[in-house]
């Protein structure tokens, strides 16, 4: 369906909640383009320094936006990132904030090799629903949805729901 208008979807949430797992599978099932902003930044070295406290490079947000602009205008893009306040609001038709209970998230981040402050900060980010609040203040509240992401059953349910939403959007907009 190359000439049909297709929605852009933002998947956001604390690291480890399952954005990549959901995003890649969703892209495969609906034939959308999946973009992992972390990977994109790494490949293009889209950084503007290094954060010593959090032990991670600092994203060059303007260059990320320049890099993505043309693709976003075409539609049919699924963007995956653990932040959401710097993307142009007009890019996204819907925003999903994935949410994971602490015990699950702790195990996932620990097996990713996170420890100490980095592990605690990410758990706290989820407890304080930091990314949900960031999404609610960056986009129209009615397009921001939370999705539970604890179990494989949650993953399947989320896929089904998002696919249904995409189909409806395509009917309404073409």
Residues that bind ligand DAT (CB under 6 A): 13, 15-21, 108, 149-152, 154-155
Q: Which residues are annotated as a binding site for ATP?
A: 16, 18-21, 112
3-class DSSP assignment, residue 99: strand
CB 96, min distance to ligand DAT, A: 11
Q: Would you say 4 or 163 has its CB closer to ligand DAT? A: 163
Residue nearest to ligand DAT (CB): 18
Sign of CA dihedral 154, 127, 18, 119: negative
- To 5 degrees, how large is the angle CA 147–CA 148–CA 153? 115
Give the number of C-alpha atoms closer than 13 A to the C-alpha of residue 22, restricted to the C-beta side. 34
The Cα 111–Cα 109 span in angstroms is 5
CB 103, min distance to ligand DAT, A: 12
CB 153, min distance to ligand DAT, A: 8
CB 40, min distance to ligand DAT, A: 14
Q: Would you say 20 or 169 has its CB closer to ligand DAT? A: 20
Q: Would you say 8 or 149 has its CB closer to ligand DAT? A: 149
The Cα 40–Cα 42 span in angstroms is 5
């Amino acid at each position: 369906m190359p000439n049909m208008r297709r929605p852009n979807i933002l998947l956001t949430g604390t690291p480890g909640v399952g954005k990549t797992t959901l995003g890649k599978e969703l892209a495969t099932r609906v034939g959308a383009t999946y973009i992992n902003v972390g990977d994109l930044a790494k490949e293009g070295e889209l950084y503007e320094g290094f954060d010593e406290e959090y032990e991670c490079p600092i994203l060059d947000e303007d260059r990320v936006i320049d890099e993505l602009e043309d693709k976003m205008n075409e539609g049919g893009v699924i963007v995956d990132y653990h932040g959401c306040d710097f993307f142009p609001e007009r890019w996204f038709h819907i925003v999903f904030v994935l949410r994971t209970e602490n015990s699950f998230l702790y195990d996932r981040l620990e097996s990713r090799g996170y420890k100490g402050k980095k592990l605690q900060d990410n758990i706290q980010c989820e407890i304080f629903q930091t990314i949900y609040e960031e999404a609610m203040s960056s986009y129209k509240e009615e397009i921001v949805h939370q999705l539970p992401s604890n179990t494989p059953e949650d993953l399947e349910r989320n896929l089904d729901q998002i696919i249904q939403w995409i189909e409806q959007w395509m009917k309404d907009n073409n």
